[in-house]
Structure 1
Amino acid sequence: MRRDVNLYWCGETASSFGSVFTAIALPVVALTELGATAGQVGLISAASTVPGIVLGLLAGALADRIERPRRAMILMDLLSAASVAAVALALRHGVASIVWLMGLGLVQGLLGVLLGSLYFVHLRQLVGAEAIGPVRARLQAGQFGAALVGRILAGPVIALFGSAVALGTDAVSYLLSALALLSMRSPDRAAAVPETAGQKREGVRGAAAGLRFFAGHPFHRALLLFIVAPAAAMTGVATLTGPFLLRTVHLPVGVYGLAFVLSGVMGLTGSALAGRLLRPGRDARLTVLVCFAAALASLIPLPVAAGPLPLAVFCAALGLGLPVLFGAVANVALVSVLATDVPEAMMGRGMAALQVIMSATALAGALAGGYLGDLLGVRTALWALIGTGLLVVGAVGPAAVRAARDLRARDEQEQKPAPDAPDVAEAGPAAAV
């Protein structure tokens, strides 16, 4: 298991390194080479969320039934490599357009729908529910470390060699991820989940079981609202970050990636901090609420960025880095909460339901960010998105905290040993009456 976890870490780390190159290259291509508006950048960001909304629930149900999740993940990596390589070739030959970038987003979103559910199914298969939190923290630390190096290198690579080389780097990283999965030795077979005939006939209703889970308890309903508001605001902010830094702050393309370097450091710090905060006995539910709220509030330095270039870059780096610090802790805490609360037979559907909700939220946030950027101006739009998110969190927060405490009290009550029942035979006739 340890060897396979190490290989999983290597594959995910390599993939994260490459993904940073694409994430930084796409807005640069759209804004500097194709002349995209803020609204068009929003459409490119939104394209990757559509498959998750349309197919997410079915993908979750499928993930719970796939007997060999690792083999399916290898296929997803190979298809992802092919799609990124195709756009890289289109850029190299000068035939790429906004439609090409949107198409890449759609394909990557489609592949990511199933891969997102299989990731947790496979991870739980490797380490079990008890160890999933610490292992997830380690995997996340590797991803943030790779992203840190990628952010340092992406800007100079794009400036010196062009965006096609950056996308080619991402394609190679997917191949390395597939090779790491292929090298694992542990059995690639998910635990069989017994189903009744009625469950097999349930079809789409069964796929929607994950959504029903999030509606079943007051804490899970509050948690969902608490996640959605920051996620929508943060997606809108992410959509406008490229236009803001390149056109409003006038950051040179060669140092554009450096504004994101602090994000990698903060991600590593947050992943390490999560391992300490989420030790056995700690309340992961309260942790996830506090950290999502803090991630949203810490976006504020980004729209403040102005003045001399070093000061503007510093403010922007804080506004991009601090949310990653709190978000890293929140993500690990969220996985721990779901691994505890979601039944094992519903893990794929539960994660898919969350993915569908987050995809819909990301779609709304990306479109809202692009629309507000064109309507109000980029800096004003950033303030509007952050302010709206903070208002929602402030309204929902108290109820979410109360529900988390109630659920923890219930869990502690269930864990107490049941009192011994009196022995009627020894208590005598009077006690029996």
Structure 2
Amino acid sequence: MTLTQPRATKAAEPAELTKAAAPKLPPAFHRLWAAGAASSLGDGVYFAALPLLASRLTQDPVLIGLVTSATLAPWLVFGLLGGALADRWDRRRTMWLTDLGRAALLAVPVAATAAGLLSIPLLIAVAFLLGIGQVLFDSAGSAYLPRLLDRDMALLQRANARQQGARTFFADLAGPPVGSLLFTLGRALPFGLDSLSFLASSLLIRSMPADRAPKRERPADGASLWADARVGVGFLLRDKLLFGLALRPAIGNLAFVGADAVLVLFARHTLHLGDLGYGLLLACQAVGGLLGAGLAGRLGALLGTGGALTATALIEGGAMAGFGLCGGPVLAGLALAGIGAAMAATMVLAPALGQALIPVELAGRVGAARRLLSVGAAPVGAVLGGWLADTAGLRAPFLVGGLLLAATALVTVTVAGNRQIEQALAARAAAEQVVAA
């Protein structure tokens, strides 16, 4: 089944949706999945090793914070332009060339370490350039996938579930301990492995089919990149359903980043955990994430996409508030596992719906606008979490975060419920049939 048959999107017909999932994912997707898995492992290794390396060069927390946050900064200053470029360029070529560039870029800290020239400014510059690469890769990748799968809702859900599962396992569960271990064996080893992961990803993507999206004609007046980017922003703001889906991760980042800002202090002073216990606590969230990614499709078939997103919002809110009320590590671990499961299911269902609805020629720009809204909320969440902990205690960021997350259920019910989703998919299918005729 394809999305030209909107009946399969009805929440009241889960059996039909399950049957519609019978078509297999194409071989090209499996190469894309393998590339993402390799890159995610490298990301997890890098995530653990980068602050460790920075701490060997300086003990200034501000400088270390600049290093670790430099990869996010490009989303704020380059994100919209990156989305516009992804819609102008061949998306597969953009992805494999970007990963090839990132593989070469990661050789810089390896060489600098060997030559004794490594410095904090160099690490910040490398991290920033890697972030620009992530903007281009993610914008092109989010636009390439729906075209590869013909915007089939069932296939997109399955594909996003597998990709989210790989990211959770390799980047969150396996990568950080591997990165820490490699760093103890040699400071350059984690970055060398990350470079190899990007090289493997580049080669795998290079073997995939070229982007089949029709080439978009440039306007006669030679519209600038900013003009192109504004088209994507305008499309997002005008579409209530898509804007509601974009608000979900933005509000979520206020809560999650705010909680993450004080999580280590909460674990030490409230749960009385040491370093090993803290690591196991984080692993609980990753394990929950694997479970949530695997069950997302079934939850969507059972409740409908809108109903499932409402349920995950309530689970996130309840689990976050419950974590803030915990006094022991066992219940805290279970709460984090619930948060991880609900987050992962949301990150499967919501992107799949957006990919099915956003026109192919706008996919890069609209996707970039959505991510900019989400990433832009992260630093606000970090400040909010720190302020709440300082003024009201370490439990406050989790309790307030729980309320914010639960509030996203109201957003979903209002603008992205099953009825609105069914109507949007049906309208999109009807428009495509008119074009085809």
| Alignment match, 2:248 | 226
| Alignment match, 1:56 | 79
Alignment map for 1:82-161 (pairs within 5 Å): 82-91=104-113, 96-130=118-152, 131-147=155-171, 148-158=173-183, 160-161=184-185
| Alignment match, 1:269 | 291
The farther-off stretch of 96-105 and 164-173 is 96-105
Verify the 8 A CA contact 1:140 1:271 in the aligned structure 2: yes
Verify the 8 A CA contact 1:155 1:255 in the aligned structure 2: no
CA distance in 2, matches of 1:91, 1:296: 44
Alignment map for 1:403-418 (pairs within 5 Å): 403-405=415-417, 407-408=420-421, 410-411=423-424
CA distance in 1, matches of 2:396, 2:60: 22
1:47 equivalent among 59, 66, 70:
70
What letter corresponds to residue 142 of structure 1 in structure 2?
A
What letter corresponds to residue 6 of structure 1 in structure 2?
H
CA distance in 2, matches of 1:125, 1:150: 30
- Matching of residue 325 in structure 1 with residue 337 in structure 2: no
Alignment map for 1:246-325 (pairs within 5 Å): 251-252=274-275, 257-279=279-301, 283-295=304-316, 297-300=318-321, 312=329, 317-318=333-334, 320-325=336-341
CA distance in 1, matches of 2:429, 2:236: 26
| Alignment match, 1:180 | 204
Per the alignment, do residues 21 and 222 of structure 1 end up closer, same or farther by CA in structure 2, a change over 3 Å counting? same
Alignment map for 1:384-395 (pairs within 5 Å): 384-395=396-407
What letter corresponds to residue 212 of structure 1 in structure 2?
G
What's the TM-score once normalised by structure 2's chain length? 0.77
| Alignment match, 2:49 | 25
What letter corresponds to residue 178 of structure 2 in structure 1?
L
CA distance in 2, matches of 1:242, 1:90: 32
Verify the 8 A CA contact 1:24 1:257 in the aligned structure 2: no
| Alignment match, 2:88 | 65
- Matching of residue 76 in structure 1 with residue 98 in structure 2: yes
Gaps (5+ residues) in structure 2?
Answer: 1-24, 431-437
What SS does the corresponding residue of 1:355 show, helix, strand or coil?
Answer: helix
Shift of 1:12: 0.9
Shift of 1:77: 0.9
CA distance in 2, matches of 1:416, 1:141: 29
CA distance in 1, matches of 2:349, 2:114: 42
Q: Could you give the per-residue CA deviations for residues 176-223 of structure 1, whole angstroms, max 9, x where no partner exists? A: 111211233x3x133214547368536423312222233224444444
Report the number of matched residues.
Answer: 401
CA distance in 2, matches of 1:179, 1:226: 34
2:363 equivalent among 347, 364, 370:
347
What SS does the corresponding residue of 1:167 show, helix, strand or coil?
Answer: helix
CA distance in 2, matches of 1:89, 1:4: 35
Verify the 8 A CA contact 1:210 1:346 in the aligned structure 2: yes
Verify the 8 A CA contact 1:269 1:325 in the aligned structure 2: yes
Verify the 8 A CA contact 1:208 1:353 in the aligned structure 2: no
What letter corresponds to residue 110 of structure 1 in structure 2?
I
How large is the Cα RMSD of the aligned pairs? 3.6
Per the alignment, do residues 120 and 140 of structure 1 end up closer, same or farther by CA in structure 2, a change over 3 Å counting? same
Shift of 1:333: 0.8
Q: Could you give the per-residue CA deviations for residues 366-421 of structure 1, whole angstroms, max 9, x where no partner exists? A: 4555x649x829x94x644334433444555435413223514644886999xxxx
Percent identical: 26
What letter corresponds to residue 111 of structure 1 in structure 2?
G
Q: Could you give the per-residue CA deviations for residues 93-150 of structure 1, whole angstroms, max 9, x where no partner exists? A: 6654544443333122211111111112222232221022211212222232323333
Larger Rg: 1
What SS does the corresponding residue of 2:238 show, helix, strand or coil?
Answer: coil
Per the alignment, do residues 152 and 266 of structure 1 end up closer, same or farther by CA in structure 2, a change over 3 Å counting? farther
What's the TM-score once normalised by structure 1's chain length? 0.78
What SS does the corresponding residue of 1:23 show, helix, strand or coil?
Answer: helix
